[in-house]
Amino acid sequence: MTWMDPARAASWDAHAHVIGDPSRYPLAPGRGYTPAPAALDDYLAMLDHHGIGRGVLVQPSVYGHDHECLLDALYRANGRLRGIAVPAPDSTARALERLHAHGVRGIRCNLINPGGLAPAAVETWRPVLHALGWHVELQVPIADQPDWIALVESFTAGPYGLRVAIDHMGRPAPGHLDPASAPLDRLVALVRDGGCFVKLSAPYRLSAEPPPWRDVAPLARALVAANPAACLWASDWPHVDTAGSVRTGDLLEALDLWCPDEATRLLVTGAAAHRLYGDP
């Protein structure tokens, strides 16, 4: 089967961004980078070209807590896309419910870029997040964050426990990709035990090689082998804050290296994403 096959209609791209016209959607003054515009129509055309049925738009750090660009894209996508928000710390339950009505299904704590949401801010929202079925997405460089497992467990524990997805395979540095080495061995174990989801995404941010980034393959394969139903494939389109261009076709070629068979690829591109982003 190819990525143009209609059977791929159930597949998901679990992480992408839309960047609007800055005259209509101003970028946050304290942002860590300045991206080029990346239109919703171009993103949907990419999904169509590769036969990917659905997508997830993650609020980029360059917009801070202003979700107008994200909400406009979700509305115009007519239910095809879900969203991940970065609410202001003083957001009310009603504000979160409004985001849910627009297709948002989780919040993101970005511990790398400016403009992120501090994990402590999530505590006051736990009852409403749990009731809505939302999860927490963490962009965290696990090698530089010694307490990252405790942070994950702080979200998942208790009567209002939330599911957690780790972005970009934990953001290991190039040259430090051995899945048997700490702390990647602990990430593999956590995924194996059902303690978190993980996004198989942005290999170009982790690799010291050109596409298909073969040095990332051992880590990605170890995560898939540990628990394919907890792995999500994502394009990270439009590849903001990177040097050089990235082709979605190369990312799909990398996925073929990571997943040994068609059934596993369908799990990684569909099952986990539907659990997190699909309708209850």
How deeply is 3 buried, as exposed, middle or buried, from its count of CB atoms within 10 A (0-12, 13-18, 19+)? middle
Report which of 45, 86, 54 is spatially closest to residue 68, judged by C-alpha positions: 86
Note whether 238 and 33 are within 8 A (CB): no
Catalytic residue among 42, 236, 261, 279: 236
Structure tokens at 73: 């894209």
Helix (H) or strand (E) holding 203: helix 203-206
Catalytic residue flag (residue 236): yes
Q: What DSSP character marks residue 234?
A: -
For residue 59, is it left (φ>0), alpha (ψ between -120 and 50) or beta? beta
- The DSSP letter of residue 271 is I
What CA–CA distance (Å, rounded) separates 262 from 268? 10
Q: Which of 182, 177, 224, 218 is nearest to 200 (CA)?
A: 224
Q: Which residues contact 29 (CB under 8 A, 6 or more apart)?
A: none
CB of 126 within 8 A of CB of 160? yes
Catalytic center residues: 236
